[in-house]
Protein backbone atom coordinates (compact mmCIF):
# COMPACT_ATOMS: atom_id res chain seq x y z
CA UNK A 1 0.00 0.00 0.00
CA UNK A 2 2.99 2.32 0.30
CA UNK A 3 2.09 3.19 3.90
CA UNK A 4 4.40 3.48 6.87
CA UNK A 5 4.25 0.65 9.35
CA UNK A 6 3.04 1.72 12.81
CA UNK A 7 5.01 0.45 15.78
CA UNK A 8 1.86 0.31 17.88
CA UNK A 9 -0.19 -2.86 17.91
CA UNK A 10 -3.89 -2.36 17.04
CA UNK A 11 -6.00 -1.79 20.11
CA UNK A 12 -8.45 -4.46 21.18
CA UNK A 13 -12.13 -3.46 20.92
CA UNK A 14 -12.67 -3.81 24.66
CA UNK A 15 -9.71 -1.54 25.43
CA UNK A 16 -11.01 1.76 24.11
CA UNK A 17 -14.10 3.86 23.65
CA UNK A 18 -14.93 5.42 20.29
CA UNK A 19 -15.73 9.10 20.02
CA UNK A 20 -17.89 10.66 17.32
CA UNK A 21 -17.90 14.41 16.66
CA UNK A 22 -20.54 15.79 14.29
CA UNK A 23 -24.00 14.21 14.33
CA UNK A 24 -25.41 15.57 11.10
CA UNK A 25 -27.04 13.87 8.14
CA UNK A 26 -24.15 11.41 7.73
CA UNK A 27 -22.62 11.42 11.18
CA UNK A 28 -25.77 10.58 13.10
CA UNK A 29 -26.57 7.24 11.39
CA UNK A 30 -22.90 6.25 11.50
CA UNK A 31 -22.67 7.01 15.21
CA UNK A 32 -26.00 5.30 15.88
CA UNK A 33 -24.52 2.00 14.77
CA UNK A 34 -21.53 2.56 17.07
CA UNK A 35 -23.84 2.23 20.08
CA UNK A 36 -23.01 -1.48 19.73
CA UNK A 37 -19.28 -0.84 20.21
CA UNK A 38 -18.16 -2.86 23.27
CA UNK A 39 -15.79 -0.18 24.55
CA UNK A 40 -18.49 2.48 24.67
CA UNK A 41 -19.40 5.54 22.60
CA UNK A 42 -18.81 9.23 23.41
CA UNK A 43 -20.64 11.76 21.22
CA UNK A 44 -20.21 15.49 20.73
CA UNK A 45 -22.21 18.03 18.74
CA UNK A 46 -22.87 21.75 19.10
CA UNK A 47 -26.64 21.09 19.03
CA UNK A 48 -27.78 19.59 22.35
CA UNK A 49 -31.07 18.39 20.84
CA UNK A 50 -29.36 15.83 18.61
CA UNK A 51 -27.66 14.09 21.54
CA UNK A 52 -30.72 12.56 23.20
CA UNK A 53 -31.11 9.54 20.86
CA UNK A 54 -27.53 8.60 21.71
CA UNK A 55 -27.71 9.06 25.47
CA UNK A 56 -30.92 7.04 25.57
CA UNK A 57 -29.07 4.33 23.66
CA UNK A 58 -26.23 4.19 26.18
CA UNK A 59 -23.70 6.70 24.85
CA UNK A 60 -22.14 9.42 26.96
CA UNK A 61 -21.73 13.02 25.84
CA UNK A 62 -18.86 15.49 25.81
CA UNK A 63 -19.00 19.27 25.56
CA UNK A 64 -15.80 19.64 23.52
CA UNK A 65 -13.63 17.69 21.14
CA UNK A 66 -10.85 17.76 23.76
CA UNK A 67 -13.14 16.06 26.24
CA UNK A 68 -13.93 13.35 23.67
CA UNK A 69 -10.22 12.74 23.16
CA UNK A 70 -9.63 12.39 26.91
CA UNK A 71 -11.90 9.35 26.97
CA UNK A 72 -11.45 7.67 23.58
CA UNK A 73 -8.85 5.68 21.66
CA UNK A 74 -10.45 6.37 18.28
CA UNK A 75 -12.18 9.66 17.48
CA UNK A 76 -14.30 9.96 14.32
CA UNK A 77 -14.96 13.42 12.88
CA UNK A 78 -17.84 14.15 10.50
CA UNK A 79 -18.12 17.92 10.17
CA UNK A 80 -18.70 20.22 7.21
CA UNK A 81 -15.41 21.33 5.68
CA UNK A 82 -11.65 21.84 6.02
CA UNK A 83 -12.00 24.80 8.39
CA UNK A 84 -14.26 22.88 10.77
CA UNK A 85 -12.00 19.82 10.64
CA UNK A 86 -8.96 21.95 11.52
CA UNK A 87 -10.86 23.55 14.41
CA UNK A 88 -12.00 20.19 15.78
CA UNK A 89 -8.53 18.66 15.53
CA UNK A 90 -6.16 21.54 16.39
CA UNK A 91 -8.33 24.27 17.95
CA UNK A 92 -8.10 25.42 21.60
CA UNK A 93 -10.63 22.79 22.63
CA UNK A 94 -9.65 20.40 19.87
CA UNK A 95 -8.72 16.76 19.93
CA UNK A 96 -4.96 17.37 20.05
CA UNK A 97 -5.38 19.42 23.23
CA UNK A 98 -5.86 16.21 25.23
CA UNK A 99 -5.34 13.19 22.95
CA UNK A 100 -2.97 10.58 24.35
CA UNK A 101 -0.21 9.07 22.20
CA UNK A 102 -1.61 6.20 20.15
CA UNK A 103 -5.03 7.84 19.72
CA UNK A 104 -6.35 7.56 16.17
CA UNK A 105 -8.25 10.50 14.65
CA UNK A 106 -10.44 9.49 11.69
CA UNK A 107 -11.84 12.28 9.53
CA UNK A 108 -14.84 11.26 7.42
CA UNK A 109 -15.46 14.71 5.94
CA UNK A 110 -14.44 15.24 2.31
CA UNK A 111 -11.57 17.70 2.63
CA UNK A 112 -8.52 18.61 0.55
CA UNK A 113 -5.89 15.89 0.53
CA UNK A 114 -3.27 18.51 1.44
CA UNK A 115 -5.28 19.33 4.57
CA UNK A 116 -5.22 15.67 5.58
CA UNK A 117 -1.45 15.44 5.07
CA UNK A 118 -0.80 18.65 7.04
CA UNK A 119 -3.01 17.57 9.94
CA UNK A 120 -1.35 14.14 10.01
CA UNK A 121 2.03 15.84 10.42
CA UNK A 122 0.74 17.90 13.36
CA UNK A 123 -0.75 14.81 14.94
CA UNK A 124 2.48 12.85 14.52
CA UNK A 125 4.32 15.45 16.60
CA UNK A 126 2.06 14.43 19.52
CA UNK A 127 2.30 10.69 18.85
CA UNK A 128 -1.27 10.68 17.53
CA UNK A 129 -2.31 8.81 14.38
CA UNK A 130 -4.46 10.50 11.72
CA UNK A 131 -6.44 8.80 8.98
CA UNK A 132 -8.50 10.42 6.28
CA UNK A 133 -11.51 8.14 5.89
CA UNK A 134 -14.17 9.68 3.63
CA UNK A 135 -17.25 7.61 2.95
CA UNK A 136 -19.50 6.86 -0.02
CA UNK A 137 -23.09 5.66 -0.10
CA UNK A 138 -25.04 8.44 1.59
CA UNK A 139 -27.23 8.42 4.67
CA UNK A 140 -29.35 5.42 3.50
CA UNK A 141 -26.23 3.23 3.37
CA UNK A 142 -25.06 4.60 6.71
CA UNK A 143 -28.33 3.56 8.35
CA UNK A 144 -27.97 0.04 6.97
CA UNK A 145 -24.27 -0.26 7.82
CA UNK A 146 -23.52 -0.39 4.10
CA UNK A 147 -21.14 2.52 3.52
CA UNK A 148 -17.88 2.27 1.63
CA UNK A 149 -14.97 3.91 3.44
CA UNK A 150 -11.64 4.79 1.84
CA UNK A 151 -8.86 4.99 4.42
CA UNK A 152 -5.53 6.79 4.13
CA UNK A 153 -3.08 6.10 6.95
CA UNK A 154 -0.51 3.75 8.42
CA UNK A 155 -1.06 -0.01 8.59
CA UNK A 156 -1.30 0.21 12.38
CA UNK A 157 -3.93 2.96 12.34
CA UNK A 158 -5.91 1.08 9.71
CA UNK A 159 -5.86 -2.07 11.84
CA UNK A 160 -7.17 -0.10 14.83
CA UNK A 161 -10.06 1.63 13.04
CA UNK A 162 -11.16 -1.38 11.04
CA UNK A 163 -13.29 -2.97 13.78
CA UNK A 164 -15.33 0.13 14.68
CA UNK A 165 -15.69 0.99 10.99
CA UNK A 166 -17.18 -2.47 10.36
CA UNK A 167 -20.24 -1.44 12.37
CA UNK A 168 -21.26 1.15 9.77
CA UNK A 169 -19.38 0.13 6.59
CA UNK A 170 -19.64 -3.01 4.45
CA UNK A 171 -16.63 -2.09 2.27
CA UNK A 172 -13.42 -0.89 3.94
CA UNK A 173 -10.55 -0.05 1.58
CA UNK A 174 -7.03 0.84 2.70
CA UNK A 175 -6.25 3.29 -0.10
CA UNK A 176 -2.66 3.97 1.01
CA UNK A 177 -0.84 6.61 3.05
CA UNK A 178 -2.53 9.66 4.57
CA UNK A 179 -4.26 11.64 1.81
CA UNK A 180 -4.93 8.58 -0.35
CA UNK A 181 -8.40 8.07 1.10
CA UNK A 182 -9.38 11.60 0.14
CA UNK A 183 -7.86 11.26 -3.34
CA UNK A 184 -9.87 8.10 -3.91
CA UNK A 185 -13.05 9.84 -2.73
CA UNK A 186 -12.41 12.76 -5.10
CA UNK A 187 -11.97 10.36 -8.04
CA UNK A 188 -15.16 8.57 -7.05
CA UNK A 189 -17.10 11.84 -6.79
CA UNK A 190 -15.66 13.05 -10.09
CA UNK A 191 -17.51 10.16 -11.71
CA UNK A 192 -20.59 10.79 -9.58
CA UNK A 193 -21.12 14.43 -10.53
CA UNK A 194 -20.09 14.08 -14.16
CA UNK A 195 -22.73 11.35 -14.31
CA UNK A 196 -25.26 13.81 -12.84
CA UNK A 197 -24.38 16.28 -15.59
CA UNK A 198 -24.77 13.54 -18.19
CA UNK A 199 -28.15 12.65 -16.68
CA UNK A 200 -29.25 16.25 -17.17
CA UNK A 201 -28.17 16.08 -20.81
CA UNK A 202 -30.10 12.84 -21.29
CA UNK A 203 -33.18 14.42 -19.71
CA UNK A 204 -33.01 17.38 -22.10
CA UNK A 205 -32.86 15.02 -25.07
CA UNK A 206 -35.77 12.96 -23.75
CA UNK A 207 -37.88 16.03 -22.99
CA UNK A 208 -37.27 17.44 -26.48
CA UNK A 209 -38.44 14.08 -27.85
CA UNK A 210 -41.68 14.55 -25.80
CA UNK A 211 -40.89 11.68 -23.44
CA UNK A 212 -41.71 11.41 -19.73
CA UNK A 213 -38.36 12.06 -18.06
CA UNK A 214 -39.62 10.61 -14.77
CA UNK A 215 -40.22 7.30 -16.51
CA UNK A 216 -36.75 7.58 -18.06
CA UNK A 217 -35.37 7.94 -14.54
CA UNK A 218 -37.12 4.75 -13.48
CA UNK A 219 -35.56 2.88 -16.41
CA UNK A 220 -32.08 4.21 -15.52
CA UNK A 221 -32.34 3.21 -11.87
CA UNK A 222 -33.73 -0.20 -12.75
CA UNK A 223 -31.15 -1.09 -15.37
CA UNK A 224 -28.20 0.29 -13.35
CA UNK A 225 -29.27 -1.86 -10.39
CA UNK A 226 -28.64 -4.89 -12.62
CA UNK A 227 -25.65 -3.77 -14.69
CA UNK A 228 -23.78 -1.84 -12.01
CA UNK A 229 -23.64 1.34 -14.07
CA UNK A 230 -20.27 2.88 -14.83
CA UNK A 231 -18.58 0.88 -12.10
CA UNK A 232 -19.14 -2.30 -14.09
CA UNK A 233 -16.27 -1.46 -16.46
CA UNK A 234 -13.86 -0.31 -13.72
CA UNK A 235 -12.21 -3.72 -13.43
CA UNK A 236 -8.71 -3.22 -14.82
CA UNK A 237 -5.71 -2.39 -12.61
CA UNK A 238 -4.29 0.15 -15.07
CA UNK A 239 -5.52 2.73 -17.58
CA UNK A 240 -2.78 1.79 -20.06
CA UNK A 241 -3.85 0.59 -23.53
CA UNK A 242 -5.16 -2.99 -23.58
CA UNK A 243 -3.16 -5.40 -25.71
CA UNK A 244 -5.11 -7.42 -28.31
CA UNK A 245 -4.28 -10.71 -26.56
CA UNK A 246 -5.49 -9.42 -23.20
CA UNK A 247 -8.59 -11.09 -21.67
CA UNK A 248 -10.35 -7.70 -21.50
CA UNK A 249 -9.70 -6.65 -25.10
CA UNK A 250 -12.73 -8.34 -26.77
CA UNK A 251 -14.99 -7.37 -23.86
CA UNK A 252 -14.03 -3.71 -23.88
CA UNK A 253 -14.02 -3.56 -27.68
CA UNK A 254 -17.60 -4.83 -27.59
CA UNK A 255 -18.51 -2.15 -25.04
CA UNK A 256 -16.86 0.51 -27.23
CA UNK A 257 -18.68 -0.58 -30.38
CA UNK A 258 -22.06 -0.63 -28.65
CA UNK A 259 -21.36 2.70 -27.01
CA UNK A 260 -20.24 4.42 -30.19
CA UNK A 261 -23.31 3.14 -32.04
CA UNK A 262 -25.73 4.33 -29.37
CA UNK A 263 -23.96 7.66 -28.86
CA UNK A 264 -23.99 8.39 -32.58
CA UNK A 265 -27.72 7.60 -32.75
CA UNK A 266 -28.40 9.88 -29.76
CA UNK A 267 -26.34 12.66 -31.32
CA UNK A 268 -28.29 12.31 -34.57
CA UNK A 269 -31.54 12.58 -32.62
CA UNK A 270 -30.22 15.63 -30.80
CA UNK A 271 -29.31 17.36 -34.07
CA UNK A 272 -32.77 16.69 -35.48
CA UNK A 273 -34.40 18.06 -32.31
CA UNK A 274 -32.01 21.00 -31.98
CA UNK A 275 -30.65 19.82 -28.61
CA UNK A 276 -26.90 20.35 -28.04
CA UNK A 277 -25.26 17.28 -26.48
CA UNK A 278 -21.68 18.32 -25.68
CA UNK A 279 -21.02 15.51 -23.21
CA UNK A 280 -22.25 12.93 -25.70
CA UNK A 281 -19.93 14.37 -28.35
CA UNK A 282 -16.99 14.17 -25.97
CA UNK A 283 -17.96 10.64 -24.96
CA UNK A 284 -18.10 9.46 -28.58
CA UNK A 285 -14.67 10.98 -29.21
CA UNK A 286 -13.06 9.53 -26.09
CA UNK A 287 -14.87 6.29 -25.27
CA UNK A 288 -12.51 3.87 -27.02
CA UNK A 289 -9.37 5.58 -25.75
CA UNK A 290 -10.80 5.68 -22.23
CA UNK A 291 -11.52 1.96 -22.35
CA UNK A 292 -7.97 1.34 -23.53
CA UNK A 293 -8.87 -0.18 -26.90
CA UNK A 294 -8.71 2.88 -29.14
CA UNK A 295 -11.46 4.48 -31.26
CA UNK A 296 -13.85 2.35 -33.26
CA UNK A 297 -15.04 2.83 -36.83
CA UNK A 298 -17.92 5.15 -35.91
CA UNK A 299 -15.70 7.47 -33.86
CA UNK A 300 -13.14 7.57 -36.68
CA UNK A 301 -15.86 8.49 -39.18
CA UNK A 302 -16.92 11.45 -37.04
CA UNK A 303 -13.45 13.02 -37.26
Residues tagged active-site: 185
C-alpha torsion angle, residues 158, 161, 163, 167 (rounded to 10): -130
Beta pairing class for 169-176 and 147-152? parallel
Contacts of 36 (CB under 8 A, 6+ apart): 167
SS3 34: helix
Share of the chain residues as helix, strand and coil, in percent rounded to the nearest 5: 55, 15, 30
- Tell me the C-alpha to C-alpha distance, in Å, between residue 160 and each of 14, 37, 169: 12, 13, 15
Is residue 62 within 8 Å of 93, Cβ to Cβ?
Answer: no
Q: Of 299, 30, 300, which Cα lies nearest the Cα of 161?
A: 30
Query: Residue 140: how many CB atoms within 10 A of its CB?
Result: 10
Is residue 299 within 8 Å of 259, Cβ to Cβ?
Answer: no
Q: Write out the DSSP string of 76-129.
A: EE--SSHHHHHHHHHSTTSGGGTPPTT-EEEE-S---HHHHHHHHHHHHHTT-E
Compute φ and ψ for 19, nearest 5 degrees.
-105, 150
Amino acid sequence: MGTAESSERPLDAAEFAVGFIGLGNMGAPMAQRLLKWPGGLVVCDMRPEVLEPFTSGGATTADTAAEVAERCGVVSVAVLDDAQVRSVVTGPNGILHSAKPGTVIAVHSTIADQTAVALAAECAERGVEFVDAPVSGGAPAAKKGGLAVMVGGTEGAFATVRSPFELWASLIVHAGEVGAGTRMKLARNLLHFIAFTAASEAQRLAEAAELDITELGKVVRHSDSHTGGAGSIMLRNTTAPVEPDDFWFPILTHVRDLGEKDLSLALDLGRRLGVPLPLAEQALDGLGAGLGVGPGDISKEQK
